[in-house]
Amino acid sequence: MKINNYDEFLLEQKIYNLFLESKITYSNNFIRILKKMRHDKIASTLLDLYSKDVDPIIQNYIDITDTKDVVSFTPDLKAREILSDAPIYYRVNQSGRTLTHGDANDKIFEILGYDKTKNNHYSPPVGTIGLILNEAISSTSGKTYVLFEEKDSKQLCCINKEAISVDDGRIDKIWNNNRGKIKIGRFVRSILTAANIQFTDSELEKFINNYKATFDFESDIINQFDIVSGTEISYWYNYKNYVKGNGTLNNSCMADVSDDYFDIYVYNKNVSLVILYSDDGVINNAGTYKSDLIKGRALLWDAKINNKDVKFMDRIYTVYDSDVDLFKQYAEKNNFWWKTKQNMDNYTSVTNGSEVISNPNIVVSLQSGDFYEYPYLDTMCYLNRDLDTLTNFEDDDSDRILKNTDGSCEYI
């Protein structure tokens, strides 16, 4: 091709350089595993390399497989052949997932190359088509954000990548055709070597062991549950520790009240709280999953149901309706009883997964039932302060009903 002037030469050179770029790309599943082991040095490095130019690179578009020590890939040259030089468009599937212009987001803006002083905050509506200009994984939340340019208006925004999806059949070919497989250790060694990043054999061995352990963990989301007691109950009741959204969790009447409301939980050993951590947590060095946020909770009582000692899981509160079934699976796995209907009714049916009891008598014995303030209770709402018991039914011994949202109780 004859180049007529210097501008054409620069354009030609730019296209050539773009073609030579090899931006390392991972699947969402592979990213999710790496995020859960961010404390590992190599895992953190791999996350930092995501969407960065690594040249030369042989394996790209990395995904997990059914085997825990093997990943799949598409040869980088084949991927570039499929994509050629045509842009890849994405479609917005969720609204309200853009970053605000608050100072807390300045670091991610800097990485993405977004200047908030030159752009008005823009939240594209569902269905908007556009391009990804840059990507980055937040070092604090582990979430992936992209610099998104709307196709027609050219407006820019920084949006959570979970809110968009590829609107291009060529990407499906890359992820589903011409796939090769490679041991996770060999892949990591090749990508770090290509990126000129120093590492030791012991660090690589540690990463491989962590990766396989996290892979096993990831295969069962039940591992994201925990049971807490004491002051941790009041901590996890606070809305500031919830995944943002709607659902029964964020709309709970107890999500923004004084910690004193929960003293009846905190100071009684027969009550604890089942929590479901958010998806952006990490597996710590002890092999335990932790997160700063939860996406579901349910009270767990040491109780008697029709005079039989059981653990009873009370009403389930979640951000996402689909997680209610996870709580039920967790309860069945641990031989808990739970409400057949997730509502505020105290007269209820309960099940352990194989048996259903209609209108059971549920009794919880407390160390103390006398407190200055009380929470709203869905099921175990009848209190006897002389006997220090909570029940789901009113009888001659009940003297209080805990169905107020202002910390008070009604006398019976």
Q: In this model, does residue 111 exceed pLDDT 80?
A: yes
The residue written with tokens 């100071």 in the block is 267
* pLDDT tens-place string over residues 234-256: 999 999 999 998 899 999 999 99
* pLDDT tens-place string over residues 311-360: 999 999 999 998 999 999 999 999 999 999 999 999 999 999 999 999 99
Q: What is the mean pLDDT of the chain?
A: 89
**What is the tally of helices (H) and strands (E) in the chain?**
12, 23
Max CA pair span of the chain: 98
Comparing 213-217, 302-306, 387-391, 403-407, which segment has the lowest mean pLDDT? 213-217
CA angle, corner 8, sides to 6 and 9, nearest 5? 60
Give me the mean pLDDT over the 3-19 stretch. Answer: 42
CA angle, corner 222, sides to 217 and 227, nearest 5? 115
For residues 393 and 346, the answer to whether their CB atoms sit within 8 Å is yes
CA torsion angle 158 163 167 168 (round to 10) = 80
Between 79 and 243, where is the model more confident? 243
Percentage helix, strand, coil, to 5, in the chain?
30, 25, 45
* pLDDT tens-place string over residues 136-186: 888 777 788 999 999 999 999 999 998 998 888 888 888 988 899 999 999
The residue written with tokens 């194989």 in the block is 354
* pLDDT tens-place string over residues 27-70: 989 998 999 998 899 999 999 998 888 877 888 999 999 999 99
Does this model's pTM top 0.75? My answer is no
Q: In this model, does residue 203 exceed pLDDT 70?
A: yes
Which pairs from 234-239 meet CB under 8 Å and 24+ separation? Answer: 234/259, 234/261, 234/262, 234/265, 234/266, 236/273, 236/275, 236/294, 236/297, 237/262, 237/273, 237/297
Q: In this model, does residue 380 exceed pLDDT 60?
A: yes
